[in-house]
Every structure is written in structure tokens, then in C-alpha cells.
Structure 1
């Protein structure tokens, strides 16, 4: 517990530095609101899962520990783009490159909160949803709920949260980072499905019945 609390405090400090240093001011209400929304929308679901399904939390903590080369590259791109998006959005706020109406950051915060909250629903529907690409003993294909809409709902809801981040931080231009994020997710998904088709019984049939991978009606 002490380690988790220390890691959380460290993460908040780093996140604050990524926002307030490039903005070069603490008079940045959008960043303060975003920090509060981010901490609550990640902390509350984590606490819920830690109480209801501790192994699910442990699986989520494996993010980034990939054995497949393609996955390591995709994760590296994702882990680079997200902090870059935050820093760039803070610079945008500082220099006013893309003026944003006051209501837009609140919409962005709502997207962040919704995306984070929906991750709990994904994990509840599929407790084997891990932070890295793996197939565990006893794992089965889940084809109902959100998994009946898209094959990778965890990435879909994460994309909602990521799309909300630059908006929450008072930036339109920060949305350009969605392009490499979506490309990295697409590469990750294709490689993941190659493995799942080979190692997870029933996944090939699931792919036939659920057409879309990430965005309903698009791909």
C-alpha cells in the first residue's frame, strides 16, 4: 500500500510538471481541473477493482512489459505521444496558438472521465483484459457487452480519454497527436489479433461475428 501511494504521488508530481512547466504559470485553471479529473477518474476505478478483483488490477499493471517486438514498438510510440501531447497542449495554452472556447475544456474533462470510467466496465466484462498482450490459462473469448460492439473496447475507451486530454488543457492543436496514437493502436491491434487467433480458442470465430476492431462502423 505504501509503495502504491508513493507511486501515485510521484505520478501526480510528474504529471503536474508536464503541464505547469511548459505553461510557465500556475494560473492555468484548465490544468488544475484536468489533474483533479484525471486523479479521481483513475483512482476511484482502481480502488474499486482492487477491492472487487485484485488480480485484474495486477494484470493492468503489466502495461509495457511486452514480449513481441511489434508490441514493444507500438507501446514505445504510445508512451512517447501521451506526455508529448500534454506538454504541447500546455505550450499551446501559454502562447495561444489555438484559442479554445471556455466550455471546450469542460467537454474534454468529461471525455477523460468517461473514458477512464468505461475501462472499469471493460475489465468487469473481461477480467483477463491485461495491460500487456498475453493469453492466460483458462482464458476464454468474451463476445458480449462492449465486446459485442468492437473487438478491442479497452483501446476504444482509452481513445475517448486521450481525445479529451488536449481539449481539457485548452488546446485544439494537441489533437494532432491522435494521428500517431491511432496508428500505433492499429499496429498493436493487428499484431495482437495474429497472436490471439493462434493461441486463444474461439477467437477466429469471434472475429467473424464481431466485424469492427476499434471504432464501430469504421474499423
Structure 2
């Protein structure tokens, strides 16, 4: 499984690098290289941590983004997200380097972006520690004894993984120096918000105890906000 983790991470980095640097039109982009190093290194570290502490969850995380157990709407959503993510990277490469539509970001803002990505991945580890069923697709994992998780971060928000993703959405364009990329963030937040609502409908219908969990934990992403 570790071999598969390394191969999939390498392929993912290669694809992102091709999109970013292809759009930028140059390899002389320190922020682009640091983004790949940081996200790739942290993702590999999280994967190796899962291989040691929860190989079942790692297998779920490495599974295809389109699966037979998924609802049709989630299959369409995941394919759309894949296309949108690639387009977002291309936009930021064009903006930050090829055409330089955005003014250069100050170092502190770029550093803040890098910090957001780091915190995002650290929060993911906290989520994985609490929830062994945190698969990337919406489905009931009957074979793994799927049950409601209400401890750790799930005692405060119903979708802490999405909460962590907000930091990635903000941190990526800050690190890469793209105002246009940052302008896309509200649309991305609306997208995962829509998915969270649809996901909760599936869980409430198919997972025992989830309706009661919704009643106990009021907020989805950010306490006192939503």
C-alpha cells in the first residue's frame, strides 16, 4: 500500500506541476516549486502516518474518486471538482507568472499562505485520528462498521475536513501570489457547502444516529457562523 501511496502522490504532483508550470510558461517560479514540495511532502507524511495507524482509512483515501457505492450526484460532483481544480491551477499560473495580472504579494502574505496549507494538513491528521470513516467520497462503509463519530473535532463541527479545506483554498492562491485564484475561493466554498448539505441527507437517511448528531452539533464548518 505504501508503494501505491508513493506512486499516486508522485502522479498527482506531476499533474499539478504540469498544469502550474505549463500555464506559467517558465520553471523559474519559486512559489510554484515550494507549493509542490509542501503539499507533496505533507501529503506523503499524512499517508505514511495512516499506513501505520489506520491502513483501512488509507485504502479508502487511495480509492478512485468515482465508485459504485456513491450516489450519482457525488460522482458528478467529484469529476467536476477534478476539472475545476485543474482549471484553478492553470488560472493561477497564468495570473501569477505568464501575464502577471496580479501585483506581487508581500512576503508575509505568501508566508501566511504556506502556513495555511501546513495547518490544513495538520488538521486533517486530527480528523483522521478521530474518524476512521473519513473517505473522500460520500458513501456508507457498511463493511467497515460505519458509525457516527461525535468526538474530537466532530464534537464542534459536523464537517471538520471541509473546515480544513477552507485553509487550503485560501492558502494556495496566497502562496502562489494570485489574486484571481483568491477570487475563486467563495465559489469553491459554496461548492463544498452544497456537498455538505447533500452528504448530510445521505447520512441522515442511511446511517443510524446521524439525525440525533445533527441536533447535538449545530454548525457544519465554523462554530457560530455556519
The question of a shared fold, defined as TM-score above 0.5 by the shorter chain, is answered with yes
The answer to whether the 8 Å contact 1:155/1:185 transfers is: yes
- Residue of structure 2 equivalent to 1:214: 221
| Separation in 1, partners of 2:106, 2:17 | 23
- Residue of structure 2 equivalent to 1:106: 111
Q: CA deviation at 1:27?
A: 1.4
User: Are residues 1:46 and 2:52 paired?
Assistant: no
**Which is further off, 7-16 or 90-99?**
7-16
Q: CA deviation at 1:136?
A: 2.3
| Separation in 2, partners of 1:180, 1:25 | 28
User: Are residues 1:154 and 2:155 paired?
Assistant: no
The answer to whether the 8 Å contact 1:212/1:218 transfers is: yes
- Residue of structure 1 equivalent to 2:198: 191
In the TM superposition, what are the counterparts of 1:32-111 in structure 2 within 5 Å?
A: 32-62=33-63, 64-66=65-67, 67-94=70-97, 95-99=99-103, 100-111=105-116
- Residue of structure 1 equivalent to 2:146: 139
| Separation in 1, partners of 2:187, 2:75 | 15
The answer to whether the 8 Å contact 1:77/1:181 transfers is: no
Q: CA deviation at 1:209?
A: 0.9
Q: With the length of structure 1 as denominator, give the TM-score of the two structures.
A: 0.92
| Separation in 1, partners of 2:155, 2:168 | 21
| Separation in 2, partners of 1:60, 1:4 | 10
The answer to whether the 8 Å contact 1:50/1:57 transfers is: yes
Q: For structure 1, which runs of at least 5 residues remain unmatched after alignment? A: none
Q: Across the two proteins, how many residue pairs are aligned to each other?
A: 219
Q: With the length of structure 2 as denominator, give the TM-score of the two structures.
A: 0.90
Q: CA deviation at 1:151?
A: 0.3
Given candidates 118, 123, 144, the residue that maps to 2:123 is 118
